[in-house]
Structure 1
Amino acid sequence: MKKDSRLSSVLHVLLHMAQSDGPLTSEALARMLGTNPVVVRRVLSSLRESGYVASTKGHGGGWVVACDLRKVTLLDVYRAVGEPTVFAMGHRLENPQCLVEQAVNEALDDAFREAEALLVERLGGVTLADLAADFGRRMKRVRPQPCRNDVHAKR
């Protein structure tokens, strides 16, 4: 099963936008992620609806962060991108007749709920500002490896 990387991708471009001196185009953001600009616009539109980013059209336009990074958590962003499924694992049958499989499903459901609750709690405890600060610390320690459009090397 393919992994859902929307949250990771969105966090990546949010940090680039936060570090940028001006708007970044969908094309530039797509190059960073190795994807199509249409995909970037589709994902960022959900963040725009939540008030986390804004976009302007025309020459000099693009995407910018429109929120206070200290007030937006990874959980907020996770919810804005549609709460992607956390686990690829699931039940063989959702409503089994077999009592053994019912016991297995119940045990797995409990484990999945506990693990998801822990993940949600952790996502809620990290802000975009925390990520930006970590990025800043990393930039000071090592020569940055450029993303696809060499954004770090320009700073």
Structure 2
Amino acid sequence: MAVAVHILTLLAQQDDQEPLTSEHIAGSVNTNPVFIRRILGLLSRAGLVASQPGVGGGWRLLRDPASISLLDVYEAVGAGPLLALHHSVPNPNCLIGRNIQQTLLGYFGQAETAFKRVLAQQTIAQVLATARAGELSLPS
């Protein structure tokens, strides 16, 4: 998720909508371009980015950064459930073991709903503005 937000924020910074190569993006993220292309593929399937082939090609945003919520990004990368249950089935002969998973599903569901509500209220444009403001506050 963090890398996907990084990618989209970097693309949003391109005022002229000049496409960026996966190599350029990988340089910013400090990772391998193959990994970046994998994330870009997920973002492309979600309709957030598109590739432009050929000389001068690369990746660009398909939507205004102010219309891309962090929830859109979360769902695009398939981050999965926020909180997971046990890796093995608890003991059904134990009162707690028999009931804990159903109990936790209720609590975890509430937490995930709150998490998604917060993500839905934040946009890539806001992330970009915050990142740019951080640049202004750096000591020279």
The verdict on a shared fold, with TM-score over 0.5 as the criterion, is yes
Q: Count residues in correspondence.
A: 137
Q: State the 1:136 CA deviation.
A: 2.1
Distance of aligned partners of 1:137 and 1:34 in 2 relative to their CA distance in 1, 3 Å threshold: closer
Pick the aligned partner of 1:34 from 9, 15, 30.
30
Amino acid paired to 2:120: G
RMSD, aligned α-carbons: 2.0
Say whether residues 1:91 and 2:86 are aligned partners. yes
Structure 2 match to 1:10: 4
Task: Please say which of residues 113-122 and 41-50 is displaced more in the overlay.
Answer: 41-50
Q: Secondary structure at the match of 1:55?
A: strand
Please list every run of 5 or more consecutive structure 2 residues that lacks an aligned counterpart in the other structure: none
Amino acid across the alignment from 2:118: R
How many Å separate the matches in 2 of 1:123 and 1:64? 22
With structure 1 as the length reference, what TM-score do the two structures score? 0.77
TM-aligned CA distance change 1:66 to 1:123, over 3 Å: same
Please state if 1:122 is matched with 2:118: yes
Q: Does 1:54 align with 2:50?
A: yes
Runs of 4+ off more than 6 Å: none
- AA of the residue aligned to 1:9: V
User: 2: CA distance between counterparts of 1:41 and 1:93?
Assistant: 34
Partner residue, 1:63: 59
CA distance in 2, matches of 1:84, 1:43: 15
Change (3 A) 1:64 1:143: farther
Q: CA deviation at 1:131?
A: 1.1
Displacement of 1:143 in angstroms is 5.0
